[in-house]
Structure 1
């Protein structure tokens, strides 16, 4: 399994991915889940992948040469000449469907589901930054101001901090910190996600990315994130009052009657009913 995050903010884009791939308890490997396609000054695109590794690698391989028909009288569209990130997402969807048509029947015969998902984000000169989530069928949705991030893979452990902290106005460095906290929470709770990590920060309208880092278990900043986040969570938890069951005076009493519901009833003999 894996965990990848893509954030679209007013100030730019943030991408973070782990690198663990496993096919069982004794078959754990490291494969990068992030790839960047870039023509400095013209276009920047970043792709994150999760799911079946053979599928995602095949999609990434043919994406560089995949083409879809252009308008009548115009050349075919590829990721290198597309005039919008929407068209780039269409090319990616076409690549996913091509691999599905090529490998899907054999996978089904072997009892293997065709499972792969992708986060695609970037900017083409003359257009605003855009972020897409592409599904196994090749269809996709786009991030909005109301939903400014996407996750793929083991998303549940790292989602709460993203929901609570991120808005489109979040500064890029703060957003990168938030993504790393989200990843640390996932690493703590799920062995199928693992180091090293790839982190990329893209600043709006730069049309190239130079803030890219590979993070391993000895990275000082990530070690600080791991230790500080765990410590501060414990401090906050310990600062919350314990519940009182004796009905005594409390700032936030627990033993109060609900206006709508009764306390749970106990069954004391075989003929008693819950209703």
Structure 2
């Protein structure tokens, strides 16, 4: 399994993903799940994936093939150049729709055989980015191919093992955070998920994408033992412990001023 989270901020986007993939307790491996796609100078896409690794890899391969066909048209016995690619969409929601269609096509192709083997072909994605002249945005693309957008009221989106990383986001996420604070919040959410679920773990990848820059300002890969990751994890744990022991005493406890 995996965990990915994205934040829609006034200043841009912060997106983070873990890299752990497991097919049982005795088979754990690492694959990158955060992918930066810049098919032209006027557009930036960051795609994160959760679910069937085979599905997500083929979706990425098909996106790359479609871009290649659009840039270098040539006859193909398998597929003509599609009407939509990440190179020619004009709006971010069109990019989300296109990726959803590609994902659904891959699932429909392999799903029946996988279901017979008791394996799911489903995958979900978070797409963030910006096209010049349009606002930056963040979309969650469901396995069924449809998508929803992050909003000012709900500025974060999650896929994968999301429940353990959600409490910090519910309390702290808002669009006024700086990109750096957004990255710290994403990592705090990651640390919470990893502590409670062994299927989530580092390396953690983080992308900071300033509004209107159309390229990431920072791409981080935090390995186990990374000083930045260790500092954030230890500081967050100490802060939670301190806050807990500073909670008001019950009225019946010894030493309470109201007892």
Say whether the 8 Å CA contact 1:40–1:208 is kept in structure 2: no
Cα deviation for residue 246 of structure 1 reads 7.8
How many angstroms apart in 1 are the aligned matches of 2:124 and 2:46?
Answer: 14
Deviation at 1:220, TM superposition (A): 1.1
Q: Secondary structure at the match of 1:150?
A: strand
**1:168 aligned to which of 154, 168, 175:** 175
2:250, 2:256 within 8 Å by CA — same for their partners in 1?
no
Superposition deviation, residue 49 in structure 1? 0.4
Residues 153-192 of structure 1: pairs in structure 2 closer than 5 A: 153-192=160-199
1:136 matched residue in structure 2: 143
Deviation at 1:39, TM superposition (A): 4.1
Q: Which runs of 5+ in 1 are unaligned?
A: 68-74, 254-275
Gaps of 5+ in 2: 68-81
Q: Where does residue 98 of structure 1 map in the other structure?
A: 105
Whether the aligned pair in 1 keeps the contact of 2:107 and 2:122 (CA below 8 Å) is no
Measure, in 2, the Cα distance between the counterparts of 1:229 and 1:85. Answer: 35
Higher relative contact order (CA 8 A, sep 6+): 2
Query: In the aligned structure 2, how far is the partner of 1:249 from the partner of 1:239?
Result: 13
SS at match of 2:164: coil
C-alpha distance in 1 between matches for 2:253 and 2:126? 52
**How far apart, in 2, do the equivalents of 1:65 and 1:139 lie?**
22
| Structure number with higher helix proportion | 2
Map 1:210-249 to 2 at 5 A.
210-244=217-251
- 1:86 correspondence with 2:93: yes
Structure 2: distance between partners of 1:245 and 1:179? 39
Separation in 2, partners of 1:106, 1:245: 63
User: Is the deviation greater in 217-226 or in 200-209?
Assistant: 217-226
Q: How does 1:56-95 map to 2 (within 5 A)?
A: 56-66=56-66, 76-95=83-102
Residues 164-190 of structure 1: per-residue CA shift (max 9 Å, x gap) = 111111111111111111111111111
In structure 2, the partner of 1:34 is 34
C-alpha separation in 1, matches of 2:118 and 2:190: 31
Q: TM-score, normalised by structure 1?
A: 0.84
Deviation of 1:249 after TM superposition, in Å, equals 7.1
Distance in 2 (CA, whole Å) between partners of 1:243 and 1:142 is 43
Figure out how many residues of one structure are paired with residues of the other and give that number: 245
Provide the TM-score with structure 2 as the length reference.
0.89
